[in-house]
Structures are given as C-alpha cells and as structure tokens.
Amino acid sequence: MSNETYYYLIMSQQTLLNNEIIEEILRERATYYQLNKKATDFWILISPYFIYKNEILEKIRKSNYYLKEKNNICSRDLNSFYSNNFEFFGTIISSDIEFIKWFKLRLGDFENIENLNKNSFNSNGLYGKINIKNNEKISILTSNNNYLHPSILIKRYTKSLELYYIEQNNKLLTLNK
C-alpha cells in the first residue's frame, strides 16, 4: 500500500476565515483549477481532526505562534465550559508542496512544526507535512465544522440578530397599540 504526503498550514480560524488575502488566493486558485479542469489538490479544514493526532497539538502549543495568538485561538467564553480549553484552528492542506510554499510566502512567516525555534520569532502560523496511507486519505481531510470560533459566528450573524430583534420589537409595539 502506498503512502501520500500532505503539506499544511495551521492558523487560527479567525485568520483563515477573515483574511482577504487568503480568500483572494483560494478564489483565484479554485477558478484556475476549474478553468483548466484540474482536480482539486487543496482543502480548507475547520478544526481538522489530524491536528489532534501524532502529537501535533502538543507541538503547536510549544510554538511561538501559539504563544502569540492564544487569545485568538482559544475562546475566553468557552474556556470555563471546557476543561480542555478547546482551541479553534483552521488549516489549508494540499498534496502540492509548491502551493503551500507559495502560500507561506504570500502570508508571511510560518514556523516549521518539526523544528520549532524558541528565538524571538514572530510567526503567522505553522507549517508541516503528514504522511498517510491511501486508505486514510478521507480521515486526513475530516474536520469538525461544528467547532467554529464564537467571534466568527457573532460577526457573521450580528446583522441577522439585529434584524430579528428589530422585527420582534416592532411586533411588540404593534400589539401594544
């Protein structure tokens, strides 16, 4: 059975989902693939399961990136509810190392998860690679989309909530007349 190597970038969900540069790069790449009828070789994962395997999470927590971005990765609101302080990571994963290298150059400095340097290094995330067996390909791309950072949800649904409450308030005023 053959193995396949995947390369990844790890960052906070907030960075991954709110960064206009990332959105532009992914949109352009997806369009290019579609126009050239090329098979997709990159994926966006929200709270990917592979981070919690092979001691990756332990390495992440030792990185300069994590120490700098912990407040954006962990939800203060949820820390009191979860004893393990659930962390909200997002990843870009690809079988194309050149794509990941190019992405890193566009976004800034990334720490190699296998060779963390404790010098004063200001990074925008982590990168690494993972080897999997072909029968595990689906599992590497599995993520828990139910774990979206609360600040992202709040930002996304604020307008909807405002409109809902305005509507409810108007109904109440109409009933009281």
- A 10 A CB-CB count for 123 gives 21
Burial class (CB in 10 A: 0-12, 13-18, 19+), 11: buried
Check residue 82 and give its pLDDT: 44
Percent of the chain with pLDDT over 70: 68
Give residue-wise pLDDT tens across range 92-125.
999 999 999 999 999 988 999 988 876 657 788 9
Query: At residue 73, does pLDDT exceed 60?
Result: yes
Query: At residue 56, does pLDDT exceed 60?
Result: yes
Buried b (16+ CB within 10 A) or exposed e, 21-49: ebeebeeebeeeeeeeeeeeebbebbbbe
CA distances from 142 to 16, 23, 50, 165 (A): 17, 21, 8, 36
Query: At residue 27, does pLDDT exceed 70?
Result: yes
Q: What is the mean pLDDT of residues 34-57?
A: 86
How does residue 147 score in pLDDT terms, banded at 50, 70 and 90? low
All domains in the chain, ordered by first residue = 3-147 (3.30.70.1860)
Query: At residue 162, does pLDDT exceed 80?
Result: no
- How far is 82 from 78, CA to CA, in rounded Å? 6
Query: At residue 31, does pLDDT exceed 80?
Result: yes
